[in-house]
Every structure is written in structure tokens, then in C-alpha cells.
Amino acid sequence: MALAEAAARGRLLRWPRVLLLGDSITEYSFQENGWGAYLAERLVRKCDVVNRGLSGYNTRWAKLILPRLITESTSADSIVAVTIFFGANDSALKELNPKQHVPLEEYAANLKSMVQYLKSVDITADRIILITPPPLQELAWEKECLAKGDKLNRCNATTGQYAQACVQVARECGTDVLDLWSLMQKNQDFSSYLSDGLHLSTKGNSFLAAQLWSRLENKLSALPSLLPYWRDVDHTNPEASLL
């Protein structure tokens, strides 16, 4: 009872949150050496990094579920940054992958709709980062497709069109954007950034983490550590330090 009373006297601890919304490249980001895990490590005791990556999803589906993930009544004010990272599935070729394919104009409209929704629950544009799909290494991805009995169902030129649309949406909506498609191709052999032609390798995860952190560091590094360092706790009267 004493502990419950002490807790009641203290203020509820609410960790700020960084929300990662995307497809499999986001879902896998908490794996060893993943870009999401890197962010979580850099922000430990400052922010919760929340993985809402959904393998195989496109913007058509993500737009529908976003209001179920964030509402004003579920502490949208605690969100200090959101990444929106779609396009690898949207850009699948319609004739070969109609289930995941989303037409280019709809893709752009869906991204814009998600940004507008976030703004409607008071997540300001400066807290939103759009990420374009990475480039596609067609030979490697074709091997993956053939192993499943499928034909090559994506191409890099088409993915590039979706990346350009993502950049344009960010420009129109006033958000930051990480143009992964262009940045990775500054290195002529961008295949080293990909594990299977589509998903990120360890090197690709490291590249994305560094690029993303350069955009987040100024916003988040100044956040205070939550709860005092253990040496700073008054061991003779811990309540004075912790409540």
C-alpha cells in the first residue's frame, strides 16, 4: 500500500515516442543491426521507438489503419517524430503483382492523406519524415521471384517514379524527406545496400540509420534523460529523487 500511495503522489512518467510506420523494411528494422534498433539505442531513456512496420503493406492499406494507431485521445502529443516509409510494394508492377500495386497518383494522394491526418491530430509537419523506397537491384530480386515460381514483379525505374512522387508530396506538405532511392544510387554499386535486391542489408540499414539520425539528432538529442542517473539518486531518501 505504501508503494501505491507513493506512486499516486508522483507524476505519471510518459516517455516521448518516435513512431516508425512502414512496410517490411520498417518491420525488419528492429532485427540485429537494423536501422530502427539503432535509433532505439541512441534514444534509450529519452524516447520509446515504436515499430509499426507491416510487411507487405502499401499506402492504400496504411492510410486506413493510421487513425487506429494514433488519435488525439491516445497521446498524439507525446509523439516527437513519425517516419512514413512506403513505396516498395506500391510500385510493384500491376500486371504481375496486382494485390500490392497502387497506381502512382493514388500513392501520392495516400501519402498526402496520411500527412494531413497526422497534422489533424496536432503532429506538426516538422515532426514528420517521409522516406522514399530504396532502389531495386533487379537481378537479385528476380532470383527471389523465380525461387517462388514468379516473374520479376518490380523494376528500378518504376520505383524511382514513386520515390520522386514521395519527394514531391513532402515538398507540398512541408515535411522533411529522405530520398533513399537517389542517395543510395550515388554509390554506383548500390546492390551492397540490399540483402535480396529489395530489403536492406546490414550496410543498407547502417546507411539509412545514419541518414535518418542526421535529420533527427537536432530535434531529439536535446531531450532529457528520463529519471536520474543511478549515482544521482539519494539512497538515503530515494523518494526525493524518484517521485
Q: Which residues have a catalytic role annotated?
A: 24, 196, 199
Cα separation of 187 and 216, whole Å? Answer: 23
Q: Which three cell numbers stand for residue 15?
A: 516517455
C-alpha angle with apex 103: 98 to 106, nearest 5 degrees?
130
User: Contact, 200 vs 193, CB < 8 A?
Assistant: yes
User: Contact, 191 vs 185, CB < 8 A?
Assistant: no
130 DSSP β-pair partners? 84, 177
Contacts of 120 (CB under 8 A, 6+ apart): none
